[in-house]
Structure 1
Amino acid sequence: MNTHTLLSVVAADSRAAASPAPRPPLVNVDGIAKHYLLPGLGRSFSVKSVDGVSFAIGQGEVLGLVGESGCGKSTIARLLTRQTTPTSGRVTIADQEIANVKGEELKRLHRTVQLVFQDPFGALDPRMQVGTSMEAPLAQHGIGTRHERRQMVMHMLEEVGLDESFSERYPRQCSGGQLQRVVIGRALLLQPSFLICDEPTSALDASMRTQILNLLTDLKRRHGLTMLMISHDLRVVRHICDRIAVMYLGRIVEIADRDTLFEAPRHPYTRALIAASMLDQTGLYAPEIQLHGELPSPLNPPLGCHFHTRCAHAQAKCSQAEPEFEAASDTHQVRCHFWRELQPEEPAENGSAQNRRNRVN
């Protein structure tokens, strides 16, 4: 099958929703980098986990961040939550640069920004009852009396789809999906404006994954949350995100609104990720956009375009010069020397039932 047909499969249902209008930014990331020096090897040897990343997230928007393991997604989550400090660049949340905040300002930042972890079992103390674990952040921030905090926990359990009896359970007495609901509820108890979800469904089976994504969608709408959804699975980010940024080896290589990214991807890496995400559902695969080889080491990334060693369309220029981030449209940017030559045809107006099998299931 040709590239046009495969992209039509991916695009079939997404055209019904209009592209989201720009929103005032709550989060601004400007040229952020994080390089880890290797002990004993000096400054010449460092792992460039994140290397000059910029993006903004509008108020009430959900931005997806996707890419293979090791591309720097989780490092960005740690930078945005002040778990680590950047080598260079700036992060601004709610008009406040977070690099130098301390004391009460840092405490307020921790209320504004909350993180939902990948592994809910590791996020909870196995020796504490669920209710006690959920109440702990409230007590730490001095919110309410003990009775009031208890009532807040009970209300939140109900909001995330669990009954009050879960407050007396220990983590070992809950399933993975139930614990992920607990972790989400605990994060929301502090009433954050910005929620970071780092692979929140990767440890769950397909049916539970859909339930958690639907829960997050509902909570986002109910609480007016701004969110960063980190995942290696494009089907997950498509389910919930307004825009999607694609990372490769520490850099964003493409960013666009959800429908545009799936209907008209411009970067060869994005096209390969979409093809791979469709393989299990349709059995269709386009050889010309297959992803070859292993992810190069961030200790010694390829010169020029980092992706050229795995790209079927690479030319001599790709190994010699780093591509600039260029605008394919007002809401679509891509980092590739030859993205214009790779522009896909317009997808067909109608898709068959076979072509619509692209939802999270």
Structure 2
Amino acid sequence: MTERTEETVAPDLLYSEAEDDLRAAVRALLGDRSDAPTVIARVESDTPYDPQLWKALGAGIGVAGLLVPEKLGGQGASHREAAVVLEELGRSVTPAPYLTSAVVATETLLALGTEDGPVAELLGDMAAARKVAVLAVPFSAAPETVAATVTGTLDGTVSVVADAATADVLLVPTGDGLYAIEADAPGVAVEPLVPLDLTRPLATVTLDAATGTRLADAEAARSAVRRGLLAGAGLLASEQLGLAEWCLTETVRYTRERHQFNRPVGSFQALKHRMAQLWLEVVSARAAARNAADALATGSPDTPLAVAVAQAYCSKVAVHAAEECIQLHGGIGMTWEHPAHLYLKRAKADASAYGSAGRHREAIAELMELPAP
């Protein structure tokens, strides 16, 4: 019997005890501070983010620094733990800059090295939830397709940047490197946009001879940005999984309680089949999302493939689950007071984030050397 190599070891898709404990802590906090009426009220007020909730989540529980090494003040955890947090944030559609700051921006900075200097200092501030950093690229940017739109003199415009309006620091890739720019610095303008998903604000960032700290040269910047976006795309699948799980659970609960012709509507065979099909999709989405998180955590050489598979599948499952949730709730599902519309809008917005499902299918074909139809 030959010894199994690292490449042949099957990924561990099960949740560890530590991950279950983390889930319980995050779910308890969000259940108390970010329930559906609270989220709806905040998006109606045009200020979806709750700074106190982010402080409790990021610093109190410590999720902001999960990916940051302990020597820099972080938790030294892995992408598996970060994926659990994103599942819960997706389950509650909580407005929080976790994906953009604690995952994408953090991974981008980690790719530059964490010795003493501005990178290490910024990572420490982010891990303690003292600062929110956002990578200034379009939210739709796929990991392998990013191109700098800002010149080396820090002039230019980047549209549709997620969470830019709440960022303290903008990480701006340019033609000659990566710069860290304070969001309130002279020459920086952040203009909010009206997004489909009101729980994740978008903005246009305009730089006019702004000043910032150069963190890396052009080659290192390109590699770091790809790493950050790859992690973002892979862990976005976990957010989509949490969203789909809530939609399925809520739909099953409602159809058990809602009666028609003196019977629960969930007992009708046609609806049973639809919910059973959705359950199968959610279970498969969980496997794909967990595989991507495990590949990122272990540094697997198959990480790009695992991420592409997860995004190609999970984005469509999330949209389908949200659509079924609204339809099977009947009239109440179409109202503003019911949170179902928040889940549909988040699912639709996530479907185009960090590369569409179609773009990720193209990536799968390229990685597997499959001929185009």
> Is the structural similarity TM-score above 0.5?
no
Where relative contact order (Cα < 8 A, 6+ residues apart) is larger, the structure is 1
Q: Which has the higher helix share?
A: 2
Normalising by the smaller structure, the TM-score range is under 0.3
Q: Give TM-score scaled by structure 1 length.
A: 0.26
Q: Give TM-score scaled by structure 2 length.
A: 0.25
Q: Which has the higher strand share?
A: 1
